[in-house]
Amino acid sequence: MIKTIIVEDEKLARDLIHNYLMDHPDIQVTGEYEDGFSGLKAINDLKPDLVFLDIQMPKLTGFEMLEVLDHKPAIIFTTAYDQYAIKAFELNAVDYLLKPYSRDRFSEAVKKARERLDSGDVDITDKLINHIDKQPETIHRVVVRSRSKINVIPVDELRYIKAEDDYVMLYTRDSKFLKQKTMRYFESHLPSEDFIRIHRSYIARLSEISQMQLYEKDSYIVILKDGTKLPVSKSGLPRLKNMLDF
Amino acid sequence: MGIIYYDLNVILALTDSLVYNGLFAAIAISLWYPVRYNNPEGKISFRAMSTYLILGLLILPAWLYLGYFILKILFPGNDEYFRFLNDSFFVRVILGMLYFIASVLFYHLLVYYKALEEKRLNETKLNLLVRESELNVIRSQMNPHFLFNSLNSISSLTISNPDRAREMIIKLSDFLRYALKYGQQDKTSFAEELKNIELYMDIEKIRFGEKLVFEKNIANVCLQAKLPNMILQPLIENAIKHGVYESTDHIIVNLSCKDSGSFIEISLRNNFDPEYKSRTGAGVGLKNVENRLRLIYNREGLLKIKKENNLFEVILKIPQNK
């Protein structure tokens, strides 16, 4: 038995998967979910073997879900149209279904998934995420996992970001969250009119900066509205001056 | 009359021409303002002509007298010269008139050309925007997500409910046909736009079921009102995208229209999931609509956006000439 869940926001699309699955009695659907957030919880809780995962969904996209999965199932992505995703799938040999898809094509995908499950080689997520991250798109939320809890942080609530080895620490008004991403990722994906890389290890929200001070000879710090002091590097200084019209 | 020679030296002749021509040059420069502000379009009207006549009658004597006065100061007691000055009075009047007419005409041409250029630029901009929005409309009608997801729904319905599948195919076809027909820059009636929007909403409703509720509240007067082609489509798509696509709850999209005298006021409201963290400010789609309205009606403030709690509203004012 292959324990399977479906994460897809349109009912008719879910119905179709159910119908096509009648050809595959070994696949047992244990749940279906209409948005990324409940889908994510289900994957982490139910630990299915296989997931049919739509990419465009409310609350969390299929890709945002991947970033915070505890459990790594085999995934068959379904999408209507997303050139960048399709390229990422192809380069990473991940199977996907383009809507609308035929019964035969569906069976082929299921067959491949079965083979992957048998060989135990299902974890494609890291490579895929790396690829997707290169997409130059502005993000408006960040998904983080802290212990068993999933948090969706709106970018509007981010105050500053600090590098922590392979992770970054995201600071909001009353909390902080660890996220496994690079500084470069945030530098290129946060709205560039709101955030500025002031230091190798720091990105700050421009509107949070209350003043800039000479710290030592030739070195500056910025003081945020709550009094937090952050260093400014040599390369950060001209950028800061430029954005503050200094 | 015969030719009369005057015994004048070169300095005198040069000064004379310098004073009169220089004076007129100064006058000509200041003539720019009456021309520019009298009629910004650069067309010669009866009113403009009479203004220039009065202006000429004022300026010419002043010019002649001022020249005479300056030369009198510069060359006191040079009788021979002043005889020449008196004799050439008539020639100078003619010359002054020619100068005057030439400068006014020159400025008119300049103003006219500038206005033409500006008009052309505006038209180009408008064309560009219209073409862009046509493209966007076609692209969004062929919006791959909308199109392929709809086709996937149809594929599913062919198994579970063939009648509805057929109904959806027909609606999708009608909708695409409208998109292909669209291409002119003309205005269309609100009724026509509404028909298209209803097709679109019907298709989305088949996809999203009860999650999407479409309400409308249209005053009868609005149906006959004219509005730019496809001006509402981007707003509807925006509401669907940020409302329905990003929510798991019911989303109510409400389209209303009322008559407000010299314009109609169209309002599109949708609730959205308060947990959906969208970026604030207008998206590209709304900005395009705003630009189009500004260029077509040559007025600001025809599009307003309100966002409170979990309600998003776009209000359009479409001027109507009655």
Percent of chain B exceeding pLDDT 70 equals 87
8 Å CB contact of A12 and B156: yes
CB atoms closer than 10 angstroms to residue B159: 15
- pLDDT at residue B231 in the model: 85
By C-alpha distance, which of A138, A129, A133, A109 is closest to A50?
A: A109
Position A32 scores a pLDDT of 95
Q: Is the ipTM of this complex over 0.90?
A: no
The CATH number fitting domain B142-319, selected from 3.30.565.10, 3.90.1200.10, 3.30.590.10, 3.20.20.70? 3.30.565.10
As given in the structure block, the two tokens for residue B60 are 């010419």
Name the minimum distance, in Å, from the CA of B309 to any CA of chain A. Answer: 16
**Gap between the Cα atoms of B220 and B256, Å rounded:** 11
Q: How far apart are the first and last CA of chain A?
A: 65
Which one of A11, A12, A15, A38 would you mutate to disrupt binding with B, by most B Cβ within 10 Å of its Cβ? A12
| Residues on chain A touching B156 (C-beta within 8 angstroms) | 12-13, 15-16, 19
Identify the pLDDT of residue B322.
56
pLDDT at B7: 62
Q: A141: which chain B residues are within 8 Å (Cβ-Cβ)?
A: 277
Count of A-B CB contacts under 8 Å: 79
Distance (Å) from the alpha carbon of B238 to chain A's nearest alpha carbon = 15
- Contact in structure between A30 and A46 (CB atoms under 8 Å): yes
CB contact under 8 A, B207 and A59: no
Residues in chain A: 246
pLDDT in tens, chain A (246 residues): 999 999 999 999 999 999 999 999 999 999 999 999 899 999 989 999 999 999 988 888 888 888 888 888 889 999 988 777 887 787 776 788 999 999 999 999 999 999 988 988 777 777 788 778 877 778 888 999 887 788 889 898 999 999 998 899 999 988 999 998 899 999 989 998 899 999 999 999 999 999 888 888 778 899 999 999 999 998 888 888 888 776
B274 touches A at CB < 8 Å: no
CB contact under 8 A, B206 and A191: no
CB distance from A34 to chain B under 8 Å? yes
User: Measuring CA to CA, how many Å separate A222 from each of A164, A175, A246, B52?
Assistant: 20, 20, 13, 65
Residue B280: the pLDDT is: 47
Q: Give the pLDDT score at A246.
A: 66
Cis ω for the linkage preceding B61 (within 30 of 0): no
Q: Please check whether residue B153 touches A, CB under 8 A.
A: yes
Considering only CB atoms, B247 lies closest to which of A10, A58, A80, namely A58
Residues of A with Cβ-Cβ distance to B160 under 8 angstroms: 12, 15, 19
**HSE-up (13 A, CA, CB side) for residue B307:** 12
Domains of chain A: 2-133 (3.40.50.2300), 153-244 (2.40.50.1020)
| Domain parsing of chain B, residue ranges | 10-119, 142-319
- Nearest-neighbour CA in chain B from A220: distance (Å): 31
Tens place of pLDDT for every residue, chain B, 322 residues?
Answer: 445 566 667 777 788 888 888 888 888 888 887 777 766 666 667 877 888 888 888 888 888 888 888 888 888 777 777 787 788 888 888 888 888 888 888 888 888 888 888 888 888 887 777 766 666 655 555 678 888 999 999 999 999 999 999 999 999 999 888 877 765 456 889 998 999 899 999 999 999 988 899 999 999 999 999 988 878 888 898 888 888 888 888 889 999 999 988 899 999 999 887 766 554 445 777 887 888 888 788 788 899 999 888 889 999 999 987 5
Q: Does A215 touch chain B if contact means CB atoms closer than 8 Å?
A: no
- Spatial CA neighbour of B176 closest among B210, B199, B208: B199
- Kindly determine whether residue A34 and residue B248, on different chains, have CB atoms separated by under 8 Å: yes
